[in-house]
Amino acid sequence: MNQALKNFLNAIPIPICGLILGTVSLGNLLFAEGFESIGNIFCLIGILIMGLFLLKLFFTFKNTLADLKNPIIASVAPTFTMSLMVISVVLERVFPNLLMNDLLWLTSIGLHLGLMTYFVVVHILPVDITLEYVYPSWFITFVGIGVIPNTSAVFIKELGEIVVWIALVLYFALLPVILKRIMFQKMTEASAVPLITILTAPGSLCLAGYLSVFKEGSALFVALMLVLSQAIYFCVVFYMKKMLEVGFYPSYAAFTFPLVISATAMFKSSQFFMDRPILFGVTELLSIVETVLAIAMVCYVLLKYFVHLYSQTKSLIADHEC
C-alpha cells in the first residue's frame, strides 16, 4: 500500500465515528420529519465517512488498536458500533428484508459489548479510580447501548424493550458521578472540553429509545425524562460558545450526536403528545428549533473535519515529496 495513503489513514482519528453517528442520525431524523431527500444526503455523507474509517481499520488495524490504550479514546470508540447500528436502519430502509442488514445490526451489538468489556477490563478494573479519571465519554461506553432500542423496531423489537431499561439504570448510576466530575474538577485538557456536550445525549437517547419501543408508554415518565434531558441540554447549549473557543480537536465530533439525539427525543415526544394540544405545541416548536441547531452544528463540524483532513493530506504529501 502507498505509504502516503497509509499515513493519511493513520491520521484519521477514532473520534470521527462520533461525527458519523451524528450525521447519519440527523439524516434519519430529517427523513422521519418528512425531509426525505436532505435526510438521505446526510445519511450518504455519514456512510461515505464510515467507508473511509473502515479503510483505516483494515489497513492500519494495529495502530488503531494501539489508540485504544488511551482511556478517553477507548471510551469514545463505541461510537463506531453505534454508527453501524444506525447505518443498519438506513440499509434496511433502502434494501428491505436483506439478511445482511440483520447481521450487521447484530454484529454491531456484539462488537459494542466487546468494547464495553475491553474498557472495563483495561481501563477500570486495574485502576485506582479518582474523580478526575472519569469523563463524560463514559456515557458513550455504557449508555451507548441505548441505540439498540432506537434501532430495534425494524430488527428485534423485544431486545430493545429489554435493553432500554438497562441503559436507563446505567444512565442514572453514572449521571451523579459525571455531574460531580464536571462541576468540581476542571477539564485540564482542552481537547476534552467538547466532551461535556455528551451530557445531553444519554437522557435523550434513553427517552427516544423508550418511545421507539413503547408506543403506549407512561406520559408521566416521558414528561419527567423530557424535563431532565432538556434541562441538561439547555445548560450545555448555553455553555457551548465557550467550548467552541478551545479551537478544533477531533473531539469536536462530540458536538454532533448529542444535539441530534436531543432533537430526535423532542420530535418523538411531540408525536407522543399529539393528543394533548398544549404539550404538542410546545414540544413541536422545540423540536423544530433543536433540529435546526443540530443541522447547523453537524454541518459546522463536517466542515471543520474536512479542513482538518485536507490540511493533514497536504502536509503528508509535502512530507512524502521531501
Residue with cell 489508540: 67
Q: What is the pLDDT of residues 5-57, one digit of tens each?
A: 777 888 899 999 999 999 999 999 999 999 999 999 999 999 999 999 999 99
Q: What is the pLDDT of residues 233-253, one digit of tens each?
A: 999 999 999 999 988 999 999
What is the rounded distance in angstroms from the CA atom of residue 130 to the CA atom of residue 177? 11
CB 83 within 8 A of CB 28: no
DSSP string, 121-147: HHHTTTS---GGG--TTHHHHHHGGGH
CA angle in degrees (0–180, nearest 5) for 18-295-53: 30
What is the rounded distance in angstroms from the CA atom of residue 93 to the CA atom of residue 154? 9
What is the rounded distance in angstroms from the CA atom of residue 218 to the CA atom of residue 32? 22
Length of the chain counted residue by residue: 322
Scanning the chain, the segments in alpha helix (DSSP H) are: 3-11, 16-32, 36-59, 61-67, 71-76, 79-94, 99-123, 138-143, 147-151, 157-184, 201-213, 219-244, 257-272, 277-321
Q: How confident is the model at residue 320 (pLDDT cuts 50, 70, 90)?
A: low
> Rounded to two decimals, what is the model's pTM?
0.95
Average pLDDT over the chain reads 94
101 Rama class: left (phi>0) / alpha (psi -120 to 50) / beta: alpha
Q: What is the pLDDT of residues 121-168, one digit of tens each?
A: 999 999 888 888 899 999 999 999 999 999 999 999 999 999 999 999
23 contact partners, CB below 8 Å, separation of at least 6: 42, 43, 45, 46, 49, 256, 298, 302
> Mind listing the domains of the chain with CATH numbers?
3-321 (1.50.10.150)
What is the rounded distance in angstroms from the CA atom of residue 264 to the CA atom of residue 64? 31
Q: What is the pLDDT of residues 216-227, one digit of tens each?
A: 899 999 999 999
Q: What is the pLDDT of residues 53-99, one digit of tens each?
A: 999 999 999 999 999 999 999 999 999 999 999 999 999 999 999 99
Closest C-alpha to 232, from 260, 208, 262, 211: 262
Inter-CA distances, 247 with 15, 192, 306, Å: 16, 11, 15
Q: What is the pLDDT of residues 286-314, one digit of tens each?
A: 999 999 999 999 999 999 999 998 888 77
Residue 2: phi, psi to the nearest 5? -55, 130
CB neighbourhood size of 286 (10 A): 19
